[in-house]
Amino acid sequence: MGYGMTLGFPTLLIPILSKQDNGEPFFLKTEGLSWIGSIGMICVPLGAVISGLVTQPLGRKKSMQLINIPFCVAWLFYYFSNKIWHIFIALIINGLAGGLMEAPVLTYVAEICQPHLRGMLGSASTMSVIAGMMIQFILGTFLKWRSVALCCGVMPIVSFNLYF
C-alpha cells in the first residue's frame, strides 16, 4: 500500500506546484511539472535492477522490511521540503524504493505459499498498490499535500513493524 501512495502523490503535487501564488516557497512551469510526473517512474527500473543484488544477501523478508526506510525518508522529504530539489529527491527515493520492492515481494509470495494460492496472493500485491493510491487520493481530497505526506509516512512505519 505504501508504494501505491507514492504513485499517486504527483497527482496532488502538480496542481499545487503549477501556481505561483500557492502559498509554497516554490512553483514549477510546464517542463518542471512533467518531471514531477515522471522522475519517480524513471527510477523504478534502476531500483528493480538493484533489487536482486540487495535481496539475495539479506533475504526476502528482511529486504521487504528495510525497504520501508527509504519510503519513510521520502515522505519526510516531502513534508519538510522548502526547495524544489527536495521534492525531486523524494521522487527519486520513492522510485528507487518502489523498484527495490518488486523482486522480494513476488519471490516471497512464491516461496511461502502453496502452488494453488500463488496466483491469488501474487495479485494481492497489485491490489494493495491500487488500494494505496485510492487511500492517498481520498486523503488528498480532505488534507493539504504536506499533511497527506505526513499521513502517508505512517504506512512504511506500520509496515516495517509488522515484519517482526
Q: Cα(18)–Cα(29) distance, rounded to whole angstroms?
A: 6
Those residues whose C-beta lies under 8 Å from the C-beta of residue 37, and which sit 6 or more positions away, are 10, 14
Q: Cα(38)–Cα(45) distance, rounded to whole angstroms?
A: 13
Average pLDDT over residues 104-111: 82
Q: What is the pLDDT of residue 31?
A: 87
- Residue 160, all three cell numbers: 516495517
The domain over range 2-162 is classified in CATH as 1.20.1250.20: yes
Average pLDDT over residues 96-103: 89
Q: What is the pLDDT of residues 42-52, one digit of tens each?
A: 999 999 999 98
Q: Cα(28)–Cα(153) distance, rounded to whole angstroms?
A: 24
| pLDDT interval class at 86 (50, 70, 90) | very high
> Cα 128 to chain center, whole Å?
12
Residue 114 has pLDDT above 80, yes or no: yes
Q: What is the pLDDT of residues 51-76, one digit of tens each?
A: 988 888 988 889 989 999 999 999 99
Q: From residue 85, give the alpha-carbon distance in Å to each of 50, 67, 71, 113, 152.
A: 24, 22, 17, 42, 20
Q: What is the pLDDT of residues 133-159, one digit of tens each?
A: 999 999 999 999 999 999 999 999 998
**Could you state, in order of their start, the residue ranges of all structural domains in the chain?**
2-162
